[in-house]
Structure formats: C-alpha cells, structure tokens
Structure 1
C-alpha cells in the first residue's frame, strides 16, 4: 500500500498544475470578500476593498477576516464569488479577471431590513504606497495615481463617493444603498484597470553562517482525529510523503473518564477502553514509532470536572470557555495523569508536553493568566511526583496577539522547572514586533518555541474552497518563512495533517471531486519540510521588501537550506555567504504552475545567482556539499528530540 501511495504522489506531481491548481490568480480576493490588490506580472498593485453598512464617521460594520458569519466563497474559472451578510444586507460580489491588469467587479446588495444607515463599497489606500496620490472622483469614474501605482475604476451608473483621509490610510466610500429599506436591491458593475512600476531588480540574500541560532528539528503536524472516513487516507498520504518531525494529538478526556467516581485505567485494562480514546493512543504511538516527540493537548473536559452546570455555559462560535471546578483539582490531576501513565504502560508512549488547547480563549477549557501559571506549577509538580516526564507548554495560545496571557507564568520562577516549551498558534496578528515577543519569552526561559497550530485563517473551514487557492497558499508560506526567520522555532505544527483544513484535495474532501491529490499548499509544506533534520537557524537578510527568506544549516553534516518567498515580479536572487567549497546548489520552485520543480545553479566563490519566478516559493538546498534530490525522502531520517 505504501508503494502505491508513493506512486500516486508522483503521478499527482506530474499532473498537479492541470488537476489541482487554479489559473494564476491575478486578483487577490479574500474569502470574506475583501480584495487586497491586483497582480500585474506578479507585482501587487495593492489596495483593500471592503463592504460596509452603517454611518460615515459613525457606527460602521466592515467586512473582514472572522467578522462575518459563514461567508461563502466559490471560484468558477477566472471568476471568484463571495456571498456574505452585514446588518441584514446580503452582498453578492463577483470578481472576474479579464486581461493583464483588467478586472470586472459586480456587486449586488439586497436589504431585508429598514435602518437609517447606508451600504457602501470602500476602497482603502495605505499612505506608505499612496503618499501624495492624486484622487479624482467623478460620478461614473474614480482614478487614483501615485508615484508607482495607478487604479482606474469605471462604474456602469452614477454613484456618490466620499473621501476620508487619515494619517496612515485614505478611505473612499462608494454608496450602494443610500438608506436601508426592506426589499431594497441594487447592483453596481465596475471595470478596474490596475497598473504600475514592475520591479524586476535583483534581491541580495546574505547568509551569516558565523552566528547560527536555534535548533529547527523540522516541520510538524497536528493529528486530532475528527473524521473516521477522511482522516486515515490523508494521514497516510502526509506521513508517506512529508518529513514530519513533531506531532500533536488530542487527549479525549471526556471519553477517557466520563464518570467522576470511576477508575479509567482499570476500565481500560478490563477491555472497556473507549474507541475514540484508543484511536488517539494509536495515533500517538504511530508518530512515536516514526521517531518524533508528541504533544498531548486537551479540548473537551468531562462534565464532572466543570465548575457549575455545563448547560449554563453558552457557546459563542467555536468558544464555550468551561471553567474547571477548583474543588476537584486532585481528581482532575489524577484523571489526566492516569491517561499519561496508561499511555506509557500500555503503548510505550511518553508525551513530551501537555496543554489545554487555547485556554486563553476557552476552547474549551478557560484559564485566567494567573490560573494558567498556577496550573503549570500544580499539574507539573503532580506529574513529577508520579515520575512522569511530561512537561507543560507555556501558552498554547489561540493566537500571537494574546501574549500577555503568559506573563504571570513567565514572571513566576516556580513555574519554570515544569515548562518544556513556549507555544502560540499563528492564526492572527503575527506582525514582527509580536513575533519578537514570543521569541524573547522562549529565550528568557531557555526553552524552545513551538507553533502549536500553524496556518492563517481559523475560520477557513467555513469556506473550504479557499484552501485550493494560490493566494491562500502564498499567505501561509509567507507566514511560516517569517516565523522561521524571526522566532527560530523548534517546529511549526500544521493545522492539520488530517482531513480537517487538509493540504490535499479530491476524493470527497470539502466536497471536491477526482482522485486524492496534493494542493499548492502541500507542495509548499513539503518543500519547507525538506529542510535538513536538526538544522540550526542561520541568520539571513534580504534587501527587497517583496522577498521573505529564512535559512537553516546542519553545519556538522554540511547540509543547508535557504527558503525564499518572492511576493512580486520575477527577479534574480544573489545569494552570498555560502561555503566556499560549494560548486552547485539544487533549486526547487513551487507556484501555480510548478510543484517543487528542480534545477541546479552554479556557485562561484560562495555566491550564487538564482532565478525567482513571480509569486513563487523557492528553496535552495546543499546536502553534504553535494547536489542531491531532496524529494527523495529516504535521505532524510527524522531525528526527533525529546524535551
């Protein structure tokens, strides 16, 4: 079976551009309707559109990431459609790429409510790229001209426009409905032409091999089992075709001990182990057999461990925020430790670390920052008394912006001896300054940083077609490359390597048809995961804003990887700081057309010139001072480390 799956993998590789990836997306349309710009020869002519309902300079609801309830996204050829609702107004937006820099936008707004408010289509321009831009707004035309960009909007009917200039951005509101009335309906068709200076200049990439940083054991994944039909085939495919170096599984606590006054170990030993619990144990055992450390995380507590009546808690979206009963701490700690002990006795598993998933938010156990610190001390100490080596994750936060949640534990030295790593999830707010905070916390404690859940949009399961879009893939690999460069994590654990948020397409996943096959996201992850095992982060710089980069090297084995995301037009990278003895490098390219397409380049005096196609993920590899094919997974054995 394994050989068959590998054959299917390489067959998919040969056909990937034809079967899996959409045409080169010229217009970047987010699944919640906002347009972030139009690409011309790969160069992003940026702006941000949004849909708005409310009062100018007053109360306004604006479309954005995770702001709407279940927007619907769909692509049909070169047309991208989003249907979404704000304050009783349903918007249907269709964006169709017509030619180079030419886009048709169609908006229909239908109101089912009566309010003294209006509906608008808004264009936002950031000052950085549109400083001193000339804005000419007429009834049927809007033109915006800056030093490097030009946008021309033509409307099929007369419209009213309102311009609001701010320090960091300028907003231009185009009125769709002047006042909301029940059953009112309108359409607006827009022809957009985008142009600007296309930057093909070289980018200088400089390695600093004299100052290696933290260990990167490799790319990891989450394996929380939720779909008995879809999960096995996706997990098999990923584990057969990716080098996965770190894992995270679920502690199904609710199924492990559903009743308070029972002995779950005795029940399991007498053949009463719940099937869901057994599957989670077997998943962890499989990952450990490959050689990777495994984190154990809990989502759902049993009802007996909840403080108060579970029915009194109301779910808000994905958050229910159960508080644990402080009067039952000993029973709670014993129940959880029994699971960890049984995993060791029955399956030979020692979990590297434990966490409550996103307890800052309450999915589904809620802690205050101080309770999080107390839990680390108390449960960490409890495990130590039972001679169980599992340590605590500090944080495992819902996203990077909630950094203050870990401060009490960070400041309490009594927690430190029980902390195995710092962790956050990368869904939101990963600006450079925030990422630096997390890296600094790990340095302060002298423990690794782990991205417990990696990706960019926690709500994407609501509009799963977006997973197959090149724009989604580009944003994701950009984030991972920045995290690798700034945070130097031990691992980034993809959410998930199962059918949930899957990197694969087809065979019914998300309703897709055809054979199971890799998406562009899969190839990006495979390329990043091909980084040599147990490499150290190598400081690397780029002198071009459009090119993000990260580098790694296992110096003792002479193995290096340089990852570059080109977010603009095609250009060349001049890479310097390579080992003087190197003569050739292997280059891999992934984009909408190529799936880890391999070439070689010459190296002279520690410098190489590498072609970067437009909007592409490009990786350069050197293994044992030789050019080898990193797609051959046999050359990379997972060298997992225990913490």
Structure 2
C-alpha cells in the first residue's frame, strides 16, 4: 500500500467513525396521547422529623410546604418517646405529651395554612412494654396481647386530631413492617392487627384505612401484599397499595410494572410512600448535596411514574433529613431542582400518556395536564449532549426548563415549534429537561 492509498483509507475510516458517532448521538422519542396511563394525584412529601428529633417541624419543612403546596403528606407519629418512661405517658396521657401535641399542631397547620387534604400517619416503633423481646432493636414483634392497647393509643390520637384539630387521618401504616428495621409484622400478624384496628376505627367513626403493604423496597411488595389480601374480611380496611423504592436502582423495569399490574388487578391506587434510591445515603457526608445524587433521584422518580404507574409520590424527605436544601434555606441543592421538575410540571391532575425512547439513556415521560397543556420530560443520562427527534405532540409555542450541573434552573420561552408533527431538540449532557407544549 502506497502513502496515497494509506492516507485515503485513514480518511475514509475517520469519516465513517464521525458519521457513526453522529448517528449514535441522535434519539427518537414518540408520544402516544391516545394511550392513557395513570393520572397523578399528588407529588407530596414525607414530614417525619418527629421520629428523628425532639420536634415535628423544622425550617426546611416550612419552606417546602410554602413552595410545593403538597396535597398529600406522610407524617411520623412517635409512640416510643425518647427519654421518657412509658408509665408516664401510658393511656390517656399519651396525646398530651409535648412532641405528640407538636405533631397534632403541625397536622392542623398543614391543612389550614398550606392546603394539605390527605394525611398518612406512620409509626416506626412502639414502647418496649409491647414488644415480645424488648432487647431487640430490629425485628421487633408486637405481642398479640398488646394489640388492643396499641390500637387504643392510635385511636385516641386519631380522634383527638379529628375532634380537636379538625384533621382526619386518611391512611395509617407501620413503617416498612415487612423488613422489620424496627417493627416487623408477618402477613398473618398484619391480618390480625388490621382486623382488630379496622373494626375499632370504623366503630369510632374514623375513616382511616391501612396502607396495603408499605414495604421497604420494590421487590417483595407483590408477594407481601398478596398474602395480606388472602383474607377478604379485611379488604374494606385497606387503602392504596404502597411501597418504598429503596434498593431498586438495579432491578429491571418489569419489577415496577408488576406493582402497576397488581394495583390494576385489585383496583388499588399505587403509592410510593418513600421516594428515594439509597436508604444508606445518610451515612455518606454531603451525598445529598451532589449532582450525582440529583440525577439518580431523577431516574428513580422517572421509573416510579413510568413503570410502577404511581399516582402519589411522597419524597423522602421534605424536611432536614436527606435534605434538598440547607438548614438555613440559603442553598438549594441539585435535588431540589429535580424535585421542582415534578412538582411544577407533572403534579395533580396530569394524565400520563404512553411514550417511547429509542435510546435507553434518554428517559422519556409525557402527560397532559389539567389545564390542557402537554408536558414532556426528558432525562439525558449520557455524559454527552444528544439530539432528540420528537413526535406525538403538536405546538407552535414550546417552553423549556432544564437542570444541568452548571445551571440548576434554566428557563427558555418559545424555544421551538412542531412542523409536520415533529421537532428536534438538543439535550445537554446529564440533564433533566421539561418541555411544555402550550397550544
């Protein structure tokens, strides 16, 4: 091979490489408005500081209530009070304890000042006196003979909330009781407890239902819920199918689709009552402040809506726990802005519709909001920018909001319009992008 031929060969190979790369960095997203999925009821949050501190409220919680205006919240009820002897708050004294009163005050404020309409109360632990082996810190089993007293404590709290604070508790759960990180219930024990409590609450004029399952992670939810549903006598006491999505980053999408399928089969709303991806993130200093944390949060949020078809997402948390902003409110972390993509654009009343992406690293979800505007959210997980050809929504006025590592919140008005039912958009590397089709 002479030098001229060699140079020509190199040029051709280089050209092929460039062309191949160019084609590799273009994706196709198709939207099918006629194929309807779930309707979003709420993008809400967890307000569980009463379980982790001496107070029910904090500055971050106040700020998220003001900014996000959630319709649905999950609030922790401490039943095993720190630095207190159970004898001092047993029976009627329980609802008079300062921290319990703080929880009641916070529930009232959430409703009256911020418009919360749906309340879930969860309990993480109960006093040692109710536990079969009180030396255990995990896998704690409530003695069956203690059920009545536990139920009475809950009933007293629910009635006080209703009658004195004007707040009805819609749902209740023992937190992650399948896993037993504190309290553990077998399916059989769950049935026995629900049967007793459900009847008690019904007789007391309470509307409170149990979250079905409220499991620690996606895998195992269907199995746990199926065993609970084996007793038809408790069905009337069970509310939405609920799970937490910890330890779910690497599981296949069909595990989430099983959740959606179960919900449809039993005509149950699907809730993710703790939306997050790493239950051990609190052990890593400042992990929640990083952009990587935000992108991983964006991806798990996407998978919850798209594949599990959740109607209610409760973010973990909207207080100073896995915080999305600094305690003094001066700095908003990247995860705050990722959260706003959902709160601002895909909240209550958004009808999710089917969409597909040709590239597994370009995550697409679309919906039609209550105001008629159509919304498309695209998450580019790639470390390179990419062009995306979009079809399915028509508009002559498209606005964009993007989050990148260098710009947390970039708003662009009237950036594009469709032509012959299509348009092409550029996505920056590792970005969360929401496009609103206005007309």
TM-score (norm 1): 0.60
1:499 aligns with 2:320: yes
**Higher percent of residues as strand:** 1
Tell me by how many angstroms 1:200 deviates.
5.2
For residues 103-127 of structure 1, the C-alpha deviation after alignment (integer angstroms, 9 at most, x for no partner) is xxxxxxxxxxxxxxxxxxxxxxxxx
Residues 450, 490 of structure 1: 8 Å contact kept: yes
How many residues are treated as equivalent by the alignment?
408
Higher RCO (C-alpha 8 Å, min separation 6): 2
**Higher percent of residues as helix:** 2
1:382 aligns with 2:222: no
Closer, same or farther: CA 198–277 of 1 in aligned 2, 3 Å: farther
Distance in 1, Cα, partners of 2:174 & 2:116: 24
Tell me by how many angstroms 1:243 deviates.
4.4
Closer, same or farther: CA 466–262 of 1 in aligned 2, 3 Å: closer
The unaligned stretches of length 5 or more in structure 2 are: 1-19
Q: Which residues in structure 2 correspond to 1:20-59 (within 5 Å)?
A: none
Tell me by how many angstroms 1:480 deviates.
0.7
Q: Which residue of 2 aligns with 1:402?
A: 220
Residues 400, 426 of structure 1: 8 Å contact kept: yes
Distance in 2, Cα, partners of 1:601 & 1:533: 26
Q: Which residue of 1 aligns with 2:78?
A: 252
Q: Which residue of 2 aligns with 1:544?
A: 359
Tell me by how many angstroms 1:543 deviates.
1.1
Closer, same or farther: CA 257–415 of 1 in aligned 2, 3 Å: farther
1:207 aligns with 2:21: no
TM-score (norm 2): 0.86
Q: Which residue of 2 aligns with 1:59?
A: none
1:611 aligns with 2:436: no
Q: Which residue of 1 aligns with 2:63?
A: 237
For residues 267-304 of structure 1, the C-alpha deviation after alignment (integer angstroms, 9 at most, x for no partner) is 75xxxx21211121222223323233111000120233
Distance in 2, Cα, partners of 1:199 & 1:491: 38
Closer, same or farther: CA 278–231 of 1 in aligned 2, 3 Å: closer
Residues 532, 559 of structure 1: 8 Å contact kept: no
Distance in 2, Cα, partners of 1:450 & 1:365: 21
Q: Which residues in structure 2 correspond to 1:230-379 (within 5 Å)?
A: 232-255=58-81, 258-259=86-87, 262-264=90-92, 268=95, 273-289=96-112, 290-308=115-133, 310=134, 312-313=135-136, 315=137, 320-379=138-197
Distance in 2, Cα, partners of 1:277 & 1:411: 35
Residues 558, 622 of structure 1: 8 Å contact kept: no
Residues 359, 365 of structure 1: 8 Å contact kept: yes
Distance in 2, Cα, partners of 1:230 & 1:258: 20
Tell me by how many angstroms 1:506 deviates.
6.3
Tell me by how many angstroms 1:379 deviates.
1.8
Max Rg structure:
1
What is the aligned-residue RMSD (CA, Å)?
A: 2.5
Q: Which residue of 2 aligns with 1:576?
A: 391
